[in-house]
Amino acid sequence: MDNIITLAHGSGGSATLDLIENVFRKYFKNDILSAGDDSARLDIGNAKNIVFTTDSFVVTPVFFKGGNIGKLAVCGTVNDLATSGAIPMYLSCGFIIEEGFSMEELEKIVEAMSVTAAECGVQIVTGDTKVVQKGAADKIFINTSGIGILPEGINISGRNAKAGDRIIVSGTIGDHGSCILLERENMGFQAEIKSDCAPLAGLVRALLEGGVEVHVLRDPTRGGVATTLNEIAAQSNVTIQINEESLPVKREVQGVCELLGMDPLYMANEGKLLIFVPGKQADMALKILRENRYGENASIIGEVMEGREPKVVLRALSGGLRIMKLLTGDQLPRIC
């Protein structure tokens, strides 16, 4: 194991998984944590199936096209609850603010949190603020933790992928990562790429209330679609194949990625779902998604194959097959 923490440990890729395995799981041993999903399922008193999750946000810049750290902090945690199938209900928020940060910007961030929370019907019920000296933090960091309730009969998990499942992505991929990259680097060319940052609880409800039998639901954030699919392949012990020609990628995103030698499959998304459904339900799911504001560009991008080798294979435009690994290293730090 490395003897210092590197940016790669925060990438969401293989170094993050190593850190979780070698440090956090070593000490925080319990069955709930071990399930390995983005949120924990709890029994509390009479309530079975309460869902609990946490996320810290350190994105830079704090304001970007399509959102800011406040909107992102609400979407991120709401989406982690929603992808368990739960109805998000309550959020906490913890601010760590650098001395000298603008009160006006703080107010814009808090307002964005409030608007986004209202859009998805969650209440921000408890909070905390710490201020650190100039130079001891970079502007503002926000933690949100969330509680939701899982309606009866829902069993969605990264462990449920089955041979024959179709894999749907709810829209274009790589928008958030490309947006942050462009905001951060002055690259001397014009591209209007907005972050896809959006709360997906409504989209999930539409699928579930529409009667779709969802096996797996994840939001491919840090590490992108390729990394999230690898995690699912490992959890379910299955081979996943995706088709390059089916991947919805905006022309501008494709352009930026080609220029910089990056792959949209590894770029972060903050308003997209990966959905695994039985083959026979794929068209129904697609129809429901496309009727929804955040699902207009939904596409079937691949399927779960027969065989128990946990890997992700890309069928390239050229026809060849390529193994897509977990993100290694750190493609872009502080993406969320």
Q: Between residue 1 and residue 60, which ones bind a copy of itself under the rule CB under 8 A?
A: 1-11, 16, 19-20, 23-24, 26-28, 30, 32-33, 39-40, 42, 44-47, 49-50, 52-58, 60
Using CB under 8 A, pick the residue from 68, 79, 83, 143 that binds a copy of itself: 143
Q: Is 223 helix (H, G, I), strand (E, B) or coil?
A: coil
Using CB under 8 A, pick the residue from 14, 65, 121, 137 that binds a copy of itself: 137
Give the shortest CB-129-to-a copy of itself separation in angstroms: 6
The residues, ordered by sequence, that sit 6+ positions from 296 with a Cβ below 8 Å of its Cβ are 171, 290
Place of tokens 């100039």: 134
51 or 304: CB nearest a copy of itself = 51
Residues 147-176 that bind a copy of itself (CB under 8 A): 147, 149
Q: Does 316 bind a copy of itself (CB under 8 A)?
A: no
Q: Does 96 bind a copy of itself (CB under 8 A)?
A: yes
Q: Does 245 bind a copy of itself (CB under 8 A)?
A: no
Q: Which helix (H) or strand (E) holds 77?
A: helix 69-82
Site string for a copy of itself, 183-202 (x = CB under 8 A): --------------------
Indicate the residue type of 98.
E
Place of tokens 């129904």: 284
CA distance 117 to 75: 8
Q: Does 64 bind a copy of itself (CB under 8 A)?
A: no
Indicate the residue type of 160.
N
Instruction: Kindly write down the DSSP assignment for every residue of 158-183, as one continuous string.
Output: GGG--TTEEEEESS-SSHHHHHHHHH
Which range, of 129-137, 226-234, 239-247, 270-278, touches a copy of itself by CB under 8 A? 129-137
Q: Is 211 helix (H, G, I), strand (E, B) or coil?
A: coil
Using CB under 8 A, pick the residue from 64, 95, 266, 294 that binds a copy of itself: 95
Could you tell me the two tokens for 220? 């491919």
Q: Is 90 helix (H, G, I), strand (E, B) or coil?
A: strand
